[in-house]
Amino acid sequence: MHATRVERAHAKLNLVLRVLAREATGYHGIETLFQRLALHDVVTVTVTPGERSLHCQGPTMPPDGLGPADRNLAWRAAVAYQAAAAWPDGFAIGIEKHIPVGGGLGGGSADAAAVLRALDAMAPSPLGLARLLEIGGSLGADIPFLVAPDALAWAWSRGDRFLPLSPLPPMAVTLVTSCDGVNTGAAYGAIASARADTGGAAPPAARLDPASLTSWHAIASIAANDFEHVVSTMHPGVAAMLPRVRHAATALRREGHPAIGLMSGSGATCFVLHPAGATPNFGADALPNGVQLLETETIGH
The residues pairing with 172 across neighbouring beta strands, listed in sequence order, are 274, 297
- The SS3 of residue 292 is strand
Burial tier of 49 (Cβ tally within 10 Å: 0-12, 13-18, 19+) = exposed
Half-sphere exposure of 48 (CA within 13 A, CB side): 13
Which residue type is seen at 282?
A: F
Of 100, 151, 109, 104, the C-alpha closest to 293 is: 100
Compute the distance between CA of residue 229 and CA of residue 233 in angstroms, rounded to an integer: 7
Compute the distance between CA of residue 117 and CA of residue 225 in angstroms, rounded to an integer: 29
DSSP secondary structure, 121-181, as one string: HH-SS---HHHHHHHHHHH-TTHHHHHSS-SEEEEETTTTEEEE-PPPPP-EEEEEEESS-
Residues 6+ apart with CB under 8 A from 183: 102
Phi/psi-derived region of residue 125, left when phi > 0, alpha when psi is between -120 and 50, beta in every other case: beta
Which residue type is seen at 215?
A: S
pTM: 0.94
Residue pLDDT tens, the chain, 301 long: 579 999 999 999 999 999 887 766 667 788 999 999 999 999 999 999 999 999 999 999 988 888 999 999 999 999 999 999 999 999 999 999 999 998 999 999 999 999 999 999 999 999 999 999 999 999 998 999 999 999 999 998 877 789 999 999 999 999 999 888 888 889 888 888 888 877 767 777 777 777 789 999 999 999 999 999 999 999 999 999 999 999 999 999 999 999 999 999 998 999 999 999 999 999 878 888 889 999 999 999 7
How far are the Cα atoms of 27, 30, 77 from residue 154, in angstroms, in the given order? 19, 11, 24
The residues pairing with 56 across neighbouring beta strands, listed in sequence order, are 95
Residues 6+ apart with CB under 8 A from 25: none
Q: Are 245 and 176 in contact (CB under 8 A)?
A: yes
Domains and CATH numbers, the chain: 4-164 (3.30.230.10), 172-297 (3.30.70)
Half-sphere exposure of 30 (CA within 13 A, CB side): 27
**Helix %, strand %, coil % for the chain, to 5?**
30, 30, 40
Neighbours of 202 (CB within 10 A): 16
Q: Annotated catalytic sites, by residue?
A: 12, 142
